[in-house]
Structure 1
């Protein structure tokens, strides 16, 4: 990610957090904008054109979306295109990131990142579902309908919107990759981070609380836990937070011991 994109994302996120009213419609419209801009090389190129002034790029937003989207969405999109982005593709990614964050804001009392994790596990445990949602040849609207069917009664409207929108605009990304990125964005929007904990048997509530407290102290942010039961680790646990892996599993210790004996 280029420095221009980093600065643009920071400005767009600040504008979102300062917006007087952000609801699920805002998120829905931002996802639609990402889909429209991402589907038109001419439009995305014009909106990311560094040779054009911020005012001229903002006028394009008003001309294309002003009559279709609410005032909050249009204002956010105007802020987005006034910034300079390293590439047109990163501009599209930025709009989509705002959409995910807006969905999180719209559901303050809902464990959206936890629901996204459950959706990711559902996909991981069902190869047919993953194939249907990730196929490049599949109909996008059918993918959205499949998500609605799978998650109805299991997840909030905010989570269903995020998942159904992402699978309809994959842009060369795998389904679980998109859901993982969305989980991280939701957690970041709420001032926390997500740890995936692999254990051979379920953690007891007291164990989860202690682990969360230790990780929170280590990372300086509240750490939420998503648990995965994996008998292959035999015992102990393995924790993954973004690119960090803390492996205290029995399987890892046995592997280390075998390597020492062989060396």
Structure 2
């Protein structure tokens, strides 16, 4: 991510936070806008053109997205008023705003947990991952497939995020899309996500102690996603972003074998 995009994304996120009445419809419209911009090199180029005056870029938003709500148009105008490093990162930025809007609209829903649950389903079903990640077949059909799979099992918020992302993968793997969405939702809610690998399920007391310990270490609220992994043998393996804390017996045995091997 370029420095210009970092600044543009921060400013756009602030504009979203200042917006009133952010609903799932707002998020849905932002996803649609991201899809439209991503599908048209001419449109994305016009909106991300640093040589074009700010007013001209905002006028393009009004002309192309005039059918969207005033709230969504205002957020999009704020986004294109910023300088993005390139058109691809503008599309990424609008998509991130859509994910953040979903988190704002459904603040009481465990979206991260639901996304993680679907990610585990995808990881355990190679055929499903292949069907969703294949370049063959219409993207809309993949979105409909996801909606059918999630109906009755997840919230409308999580279903919107997943179905929208698989409709516009842009060369990204399904698990990569889901992991990024989880990080964005957690960031919007001011917390980080820890993926915990354990040989057995953690009880409520264990979850609380681990979450509290990690929150102190990372100076912020930490949400836990627990994966039951028999290969851990005992103890825990915790991953937060690029940090890995491996206290499992299997890791200790591997380290011991390495030392014995010289």
Q: TM > 0.5 between the two? A: yes
Q: CA deviation at 1:138?
A: 2.1
Partners of 2:89 and 2:147 lie apart in 1 by 28
Paired with 2:252 and 2:202, the residues of 1 have a C-alpha distance of 20
What is the root-mean-square deviation in Å for CA atoms of aligned residues? 0.6
| Residue of structure 1 in register with 2:72 after alignment | 73
1:24 aligns with 2:39: no
Distance (whole Å) between structure 2 residues aligned to residue 137 and residue 49 of structure 1: 32
TM-score using structure 2 length: 0.99
1:153-194: CA deviations, max 9, x gaps?
111001000000000100110001100000010011011110
* Matches of 1:76 and 1:86, distance apart in 2: 19
Aligned ranges 1:119-134 → 2 under 5 Å = 119-134=118-133
Could you tell me how far 1:140 is from its partner in structure 2? 1.0
Matches within 5 A, 1:1-263: 1-66=1-66, 68-263=67-262
CA distance in 1, matches of 2:165, 2:57: 26
TM-score w.r.t. the length of structure 1 is 0.99
Deviation at 1:60, TM superposition (A): 0.4
Note the C-alpha offset of 1:129.
1.0
Question: How far does the alpha carbon of each residue in 1:13-39 deviate from its partner, in whole angstroms, 9 at most, with x for none?
Answer: 000001011000000000000000000
CA distance in 1, matches of 2:244, 2:135: 32
The ranges of structure 1 where at least 4 consecutive aligned residues each deviate by more than 2 angstroms after the TM superposition are none
Whole-Å separation in 2 of the counterparts to 1:200 and 1:41: 48
Q: Deviations over 1:113-132 (max 9, x none)?
A: 11000010111111111111
Is the partner of 1:121 in helix, strand or coil? helix
Alignment gaps of 5+ in structure 2: none
1:75-108 deviation per Cα after TM superposition (whole angstroms, max 9, x unaligned): 0000010000001000000000000000111111
Q: Distance in 2 between matches of 1:178 and 1:244?
A: 20
Return the alpha-carbon distance in structure 1 between the equivalents of residues 108 and 186 of structure 2: 13
Q: Deviations over 1:27-72 (max 9, x none)?
A: 0000000000000001101111011011110000001001x10011
